[in-house]
Structure 1
Amino acid sequence: MNRLAQENSWAGRARRPSSTRTRTRESQSDVNSFTVWLNFHGDLSFFVGSKRSIERNLGEKTSVKDVIESCGVPHPEVDLILVNGRPVRFEHSLECSAEIDVFPVQKQSPQFKENRLQIYSFNRFIADGHLGKLARNLRLLGFDVAYDRQAQDRQLLQVMASENRALLTRDRRLLMHSVVRHGYCPRSQDADEQTMEVIRRFDLFDSIAPFTRCLRCNAPLEKVAKADVMEKLEPLTRIYYDEFRRCTGCGQIYWAGSHFSKLQKRLEQLRANSRG
């Protein structure tokens, strides 16, 4: 046990006489600075760069969540925290020198399984205005993704909280907001690679249901008889196609047109690569 821990222990306090001088000395000890060492594992290097080990000097007791985020790592990206080898939660208070190991989501790891901080399976999302192609890809695969290119941060957070959605954003400061419970920062800037990342992170393989959600407004699609949409079809479409789906929200009509085979090929590629 180090000196600071001994001073703060019950036995240490019991041995001291109760005096103004002693109370003053203890009060000064409470505000003494201390050092913590943080080790970031796995792909958390995306946020901290090559410097995986970071030293922080603290002047007062601080939550481990705040210290981790001061290093640039959003809390939704953290799945396990060990302080001196012991698993803790985000609200754990750091009061003396400590070694902190911070791990990303690792679903395959059996260690400390009951102490994991993140939910692995999640299928409702909200994407920020810079991730429009990712939102479209996920809708193509049948996932519920709220998206408004013009939405401000406050609106994103309100919808996220009220509809219990996971936030998808490359803005790490937004992901650090205290109201964010579930979220992910795509590492890649390529929409197809981002899609694979999200599928892996939230274990979406078995939930893929292509062509069941509107790419424009996100509402579910329903099968509709050709006769019910005939007046909305172009002349050649009326001749060559017989199966249609209609968006239950905006009314957009979908059919297996010339683009369909291209979409199917893209979908199969996404499926195959996401399992890689």
Structure 2
Amino acid sequence: MTSVQDSLIFRNILSHPPTAEIWNDRTRTKYYLDFEAALAKAQARLSIIPQDAADAIVKVCFDVDTLIDWDLLRQQTEHIGYPVLGVVQQLVARVNEHSPTGEKWGEWSHWGATTQDLTDTASVLQIRDTLNVIENFLNQIISALRDLSQKHKSTPMAGRSNLQQAVPISAGFKFARLLATFLRHKDRLGELRKRVLVLEFGGAAGTLATLSPGGSDDIGLRCQEELAKELGLDVPDTSWHTERDRIAEFGFFCTLVTGTCAK
């Protein structure tokens, strides 16, 4: 089964090469490994896992193409239904291969995390990259519309009203209205970042309980803060495994921008 995105002829009509690169398998898997490396660093700082284990995990996560057997990952994903478990299994095996004799540092990989943590955080990192691309386009569009609004402020054209021509307007006025819309989109993008570029790390049920089995301290929340810092994301107010409003808001924003561009 193929899609238009697989077509050499049509794929760039429905996608943009830089954003297609952000959302491909390799980049998503790289962000899985970035999460695992950042988690190991954060947990070693808090003495949750041994420093030697963290060093071994970080070293192996450095190069996605060296670590990942893509054909094996495809098979694992087809068998399980999602790629995270296959990535973690390959990570554990590779770290163990490179650990000193008798050590199994790979067993400390993914400590206290769950599949949804990786899935959501990788998506957030992809969204962050995508928003940077969109912001660059918005800046170019806004600059062009400012110039056109000024250049054509006295250029007459027919206005439109209820499916017919109406009173005269200037082309500059028409461009200015579009400019105002794109400026609002730029504001929305800034607001969006605060709500969407947020870490997901809650463990199996969102409680971080496996990092502090007795519930005696705040080590789980401290680990969450350290991990967010490593990845350059905000700390969540609570885990959001089943609360999808962040992802939905990004989709709504893209819909608004696309609709305006379609005019």
Settle same-fold status: TM greater than 0.5.
no
Higher fraction of helix: 2
Name which structure has the greater RCO, CA cutoff 8 Å, separation 6+.
Answer: 2
Higher strand share: 1
TM-score category (smaller protein): under 0.3
Taking structure 2 as the reference length, what is the TM-score of the superposition?
0.25
